[in-house]
């Protein structure tokens, strides 16, 4: 198969090799690679007809559907930059993103536009709205209230005369992916064509993806791991199933119905899925499952392997700032289930001290990623970019003295350790580490042990200011799902958890308090348990007015 260099070429190359193969399945609709390639080209031509300049931003505010995929690859095909917006975001959050990266075109649906209309007057750079349905579905008043000079229906845009997009090369911008904003305002991570194509090739190589695979896209496409399902599949000519699910059970139904062979999710979803019965047919088809967006609790991993014993587990770690970073080979899971593995192909992972020197084996340090997947920084935020994207010294590991060109690497802000064999272990984010009784404690480590008790469905640990301890550890948890048929009465659960933690943890790590709530716990837009929101809400309820 010919090599792809630009993002849109992942689709076009597979279409040239197997035009009739199914590229996408969504809501009962199937789209071939030939049809997808044509739509991508037509969307690009439509943007050119609107007069977009090279590098201008095209935001996509839609659920997972065929138009979302077409626009995501069609915008770069025109020489523009696509900005996927999580469909769970509220109008105010969407408006922030539109303003922050000076979006010129917004692709959305009539119902979503109706929600956004009161906010769009503040988006001074917005010139065009592309609607998944015809403009007539809005009515003149809604179009006028949208505050955009033009509104175009999807079919009309794709009917534009064919024309080539602006010339771009692999180091040019392809996408801006916004972080969930759990630490403040969302930051837009700028990724090049090279970043995204190199990521697709790397991930497909170790997952051993082929054109026979069927990948389930359950994660948001605005999330780097979610979009990676598209790029990885298109690189090898596989089929992607787009799923907008309401309940975890919907995921299992889709896996059974579609014959899914590869499934990637975040730990909170896996935790929910392990509390359900899995149809036997899933195990017959599923070749692998992969974890991203946080460490998989060991108990959850054990339950998953019981549900689908034929599937190979891939434990992964990724940075939006570098698209993908590490994976643990399945053959190592038994020996080191708590590891996030080693660097993915075509990347190098360093563990450095604050002075930039390499850590000794098992010495905690900052995870630093170098290579082709390192992004281009944060959009319109030089200060944040300087904090994360830093020059490597010429004598840094992996660098050769005497080279004249500088090299930037991503300094993740995550604390890890590397053992003598080169395997990495996640300790925690530097901005989330707790300081209690003079010890630094990772909330992830506390949660891991709480999960190991098998007494909770979900949990989140955070620090609460304490005059004696510095910070006391508080845990919010949900009972085990009723579907599991096990567990402890909710009223007795805090004492039971306390007893278990005392037997499993050093004294300084034992939580000072537990709170049991009905589930599920709140998620951020990428599906991760929102520990910071839980902590803020808990403190607000205890702060007198």
> Mean pLDDT of residues grouped by 10 in the chain (545 residues)?
88 97 96 98 97 97 97 98 92 92 97 91 94 69 56 94 92 92 71 97 97 96 94 98 94 98 92 93 97 84 95 92 92 93 96 93 95 95 93 71 78 93 88 73 86 91 82 92 64 92 86 91 86 86 56
9-190 — its CATH code? 3.40.50.980
Is 134 buried (19+), middle (13-18) or exposed (0-12) by CB count in 10 A? middle
CATH architecture of the domain formed by 245-429: 3-Layer(aba) Sandwich (3.40)
Identify the pLDDT of residue 460.
Answer: 93
Tell me if 370 sits within 8 A of 350, measured CB to CB.
Answer: yes
Give yes or no for a contact between 325 and 343, defined as CB atoms under 8 angstroms apart.
Answer: yes
* Cis peptide bond upstream of 520, omega within 30: yes
CB 166 within 8 A of CB 144: no
Q: Distance between alpha carbon 69 and the CA centroid of its chain, in Å?
A: 16
- Helix/strand/coil for 345: coil
Each domain of the chain, given as residue ranges in start order, spans: 9-190, 245-429, 434-541
Return the pLDDT at 545: 34
Q: Judge if 9-190 and 245-429 fold alike in CATH terms.
A: yes
Looking at residue 145, its pLDDT comes to 52
* Helix/strand number for the chain, H first, E second: 17, 26
For 172-212, where are the alpha helices, taking DSSP H only? Answer: 193-207
DSSP string of 374-422, one letter each residue = ----BTT-HHHHHHHEEEPPTTSTT--TT--S--EEEEEEEEEEE-TTS
- pLDDT on residue 14: 98
The owner of tokens 């580490």 is 433
Task: Report d(CA 376, CA 393) in Å as an integer.
Answer: 18
Specify burial of residue 110 (Cβ count, 10 A radius: 0-12, 13-18, 19+). buried
Q: What's residue 267's pLDDT?
A: 86
Q: Specify whether the CB–CB gap between 477 and 450 falls below 8 A.
A: yes
CATH topology of domain 434-541: GMP Synthetase; Chain A, domain 3 (3.30.300)
């Amino acid at each position: 198969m010919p090599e792809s260099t630009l993002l849109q070429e992942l689709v076009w190359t597979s279409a040239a090799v197997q035009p009739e193969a199914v590229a996408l399945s969504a809501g009962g609709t199937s789209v071939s690679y030939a049809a997808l390639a044509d739509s991508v080209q037509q969307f690009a031509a439509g943007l050119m007809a609107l007069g977009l300049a090279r590098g201008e931003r095209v935001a996509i505010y839609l659920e997972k559907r065929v138009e979302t995929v077409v626009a995501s690859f069609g915008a770069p095909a025109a020489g523009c930059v696509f900005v996927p917006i999580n469909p769970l975001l509220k109008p105010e959050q969407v408006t922030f993103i539109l303003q922050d990266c000076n979006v010129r075109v917004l692709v959305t649906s009539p119902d979503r536009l109706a929600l956004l209309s009161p906010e769009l007057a503040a988006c001074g750079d917005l010139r065009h709205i592309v609607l998944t349905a015809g403009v007539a579905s809005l009515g003149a008043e809604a179009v006028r209230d949208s505050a955009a000079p033009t509104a175009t229906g999807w079919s009309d845009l794709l009917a534009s005369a064919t024309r080539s997009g602006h010339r771009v090369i692999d180091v040019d911008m392809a996408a801006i992916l916004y972080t969930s904003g759990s630490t403040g305002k969302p930051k837009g991570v700028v990724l090049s064509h090279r970043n995204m194509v190199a990521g697709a090739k790397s991930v497909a190589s170790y997952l051993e993806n082929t054109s026979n695979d069927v990948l389930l896209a359950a994660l948001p496409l605005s999330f780097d791991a979610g979009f990676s399902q598209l790029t990885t599949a298109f690189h090898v000519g596989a089929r992607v199933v787009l799923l907008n699910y309401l309940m975890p059970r919907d995921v299992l139904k889709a896996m059974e119905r579609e014959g899914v062979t590869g499934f990637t999710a975040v730990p909170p979803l896996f935790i929910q899925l392990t509390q359900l019965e899995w149809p036997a047919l899933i195990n017959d088809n599923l070749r692998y499952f992969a974890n991203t967006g946080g460490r998989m609790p060991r108990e959850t991993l054990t339950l998953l392997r019981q549900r689908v014993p034929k599937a190979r587990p891939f434990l992964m770690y990724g940075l939006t700032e570098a698209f993908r970073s590490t994976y643990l080979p399945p053959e190592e899971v038994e020996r080191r289930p708590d590891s996030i593995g080693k660097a993915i192909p075509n990347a190098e992972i360093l563990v450095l001290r604050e002075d930039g020197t390499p850590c000794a084996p098992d010495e905690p340090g900052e995870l630093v990623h170098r290579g082709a997947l390192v992004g281009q920084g944060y959009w319109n935020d030089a200060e944040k970019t300087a904090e994360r994207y830093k020059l490597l010294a010429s004598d840094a590991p992996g660098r050769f003295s005497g080279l004249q060109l500088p090299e930037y690497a991503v300094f993740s802000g995550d604390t890890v350790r590397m053992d003598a064999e080169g395997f990495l272990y996640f300790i925690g984010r530097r901005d989330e580490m707790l300081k209690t009784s003079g010890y630094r404690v990772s909330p992830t480590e506390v949660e891991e042990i709480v999960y190991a008790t098998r007494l909770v469905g979900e949990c989140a640990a955070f620090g609460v200011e304490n005059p004696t301890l510095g910070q006391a550890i508080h845990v919010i948890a949900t009972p085990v799902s009723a579907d599991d048929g096990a567990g402890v009465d909710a009223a007795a659960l805090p004492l039971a958890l306390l007893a278990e933690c005392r037997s499993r943890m050093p004294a300084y790590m034992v939580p000072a308090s537990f709170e049991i709530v009905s589930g599920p716990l709140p998620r951020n837009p990428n599906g991760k348990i929102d520990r910071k929101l839980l902590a803020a809400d808990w403190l607000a309820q205890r702060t007198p007015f």
